[in-house]
Amino acid sequence: MPPRIPRIVILDNDQTTGDYIVLFYWLDWLKKSDLQKYVTLKSLIQPFSRICEDAHIFRPGLRPMIRRILEMRDEGALDYVVVYTNQSEPEPLMVGRDGDAITIPRLLEAFYNHLTDGETLIDLTLVRPHEYDYIPTFVPKQFSRVFSELGLPRRSWNARHTKFFDDAPEKFILDNDVLGAGRAHIRVEPYFACIDTSILLELCLETLKIADQNGAKKGELTLAIRNIHDLLLKYRQEEMQSCRPSGRGLGRYLDFLDLDY
C-alpha cells in the first residue's frame, strides 16, 4: 500500500502574514532595558495581539484565513500547519522570573495561536538556520526540511497536498527536493503596512504597564522611558522615510487552501 500523503499548510511570516519590523524595534528596546524580569510571554500575548490586529501589523484577512485553516483541520482535511520564516533566533531574550525565551518567531507563533480563541494552530515553526544568523542573505527554503522536522517517514515525502504561502520569488523556494513541490508554492503579494511610530510607542507603553504591575522599580521604568525617544527617532529615520504601503489582504488567497488537487 502506498504511503498516505500528508496535507500541510506552510505560512511565511514577514510580508506574507504581516509587516513585523516594528516588533523587532520593540524587542531591541526591551533588550536594552531592565524590564525583562517583569515581563513574560504570556503577559504580552493578549495586548500585543490586539495592537497587531488593530494597527494592521497583521495583514488584513489573517484571522479569516486562520479560521478557515482550523475548519479544515476540524473537517479532517488538514494534518499540519507550519510557519517557515527567514527570521532568525540568534540570541533569545530571557524574560520573567521563570526565564521565558522571547524571539519574534516565538512571539508570532503565540499570537497566531491566540487568534484561534484557544485552539493550537501551529504545529511547527522553522527559522533561519543558525549558521546564517549573522549573514545578510536570503536563505532558500526547502520542502524537505518541513517533512523532516515534522518527523514524517521519507517514503511519505510528497508535496502534492501541501500549500506554501510565501512572498518570496520561486527561486528562493526549493521545489526540487520533494516530489510534487513544483505546484505547492503560492506566491503572495508582499505586504508593507508602514506602521507609524505611535504604534511602536503603544507597544512600549503596554510593556511599561505590565512591568509596573509586576513590581518594576521606579529607576528601571525611568531608564526604559528615556530610551523610548531614541527608539522612535531611529525607527522614523530608518523605516518611515521611504516606506510605501502595499499588498492587499489575504482574503484573495483563501481559495488556494484547497489541498485536494
Give the phi and the psi of residue 31 in degrees, each rounded to 5: -65, -30
**Residues of the chain with pLDDT > 70: what percent?**
97
CA atoms of 15 and 260, how far apart (whole Å): 26
Say what the pLDDT of residue 24 is. Answer: 94
Say what the pLDDT of residue 175 is. Answer: 67
Mean pLDDT is lowest, of 72-81, 111-120, 231-240, for: 111-120
Is it the case that residue 261 has pLDDT exceeding 60? no
Say what the pLDDT of residue 83 is. Answer: 96
Decide: helix, strand or coil at residue 79.
coil
Using a cut of 0.85, tell me whether the model's pTM lies above it: yes
Mean pLDDT is lowest, of 44-58, 159-173, 174-188, for: 174-188
Say what the pLDDT of residue 59 is. Answer: 96
* Whole-number average pLDDT of the chain: 90
Say what the pLDDT of residue 132 is. Answer: 77
Q: 1-4: long-range contacts at Cβ-Cβ below 8 A with a sequence spacing of 24 or more?
A: 3/153, 3/155, 3/156, 3/158, 4/156
Q: What region, left, alpha or beta, does residue 61 occupy, with left being phi > 0 and alpha being psi -120 to 50 degrees?
A: left
CB of 192 closer than 8 Å to CB of 243: yes
Q: What is the pLDDT of residues 153-179, one digit of tens each?
A: 999 999 999 999 999 887 788 767 888
Strands 8-11 and 80-84: parallel
Strands 124-126 and 100-102: unpaired
Distances (CA, A) of 156 to 18, 151, 164: 32, 10, 17
Give the phi and the psi of residue 82 in degrees, each rounded to 5: -125, 140
> Is residue 89 very low, low, confident or very high in pLDDT (cuts 50, 70, 90)?
confident
User: Strand ranges (DSSP E) for the chain?
Assistant: 8-11, 80-84, 93-95, 100-102, 124-126, 141-142, 162-166, 173-174, 185-187
CB atoms near residue 32 (< 10 Å):
13
Say what the pLDDT of residue 139 is. Answer: 83
Say what the pLDDT of residue 130 is. Answer: 80
Decide: helix, strand or coil at residue 17.
coil
